[in-house]
Amino acid sequence: MKIFRTLLLGAAATTLLSQFASAELPISKQALAQIDATIEFCSQQKPEAAQNFKDTAAAIAKQLPAKDLESARASDDYKSARKSIIDDLQKLNKEAVNNMCGGTAASKEDSKESSPKK
């Protein structure tokens, strides 16, 4: 979980810094959509860690001008990119979800099935 958050924050920070001088919003709408979609997806896949994902999203949002962030999220480019990313994420297998979201993506029933029986 900490690795995912570190990678996500690192990627966001790098993107923010590299684009800061060249745009009103110091992150592309595509990058923002990817971050938001990934956080939403992982929150749904790992509800026990949802608050951590929300905290990560809030930390990223604090780095961006609120007015520009709101405008970007209202744009058709953002909405289209976010939908496309969510569609792609939903096609991932459990192992890929596990790797991306940290921890296990398997349900509790799956865990019981795979645990050794006594």
Q: Which residues of the chain have pLDDT under 50?
A: 17-23, 104-118
Domain contains 110: no
**What is this structure's pTM?**
0.65
Residue 36's domain comprises 2-103
Domain contains 32: yes
The pLDDT value recorded for residue 2 is 56
Domain contains 115: no
Question: What CA–CA distance (Å, rounded) separates 36 from 86?
Answer: 10
The pLDDT value recorded for residue 76 is 96
Phi, psi of 8 (to 5 degrees): -65, -45
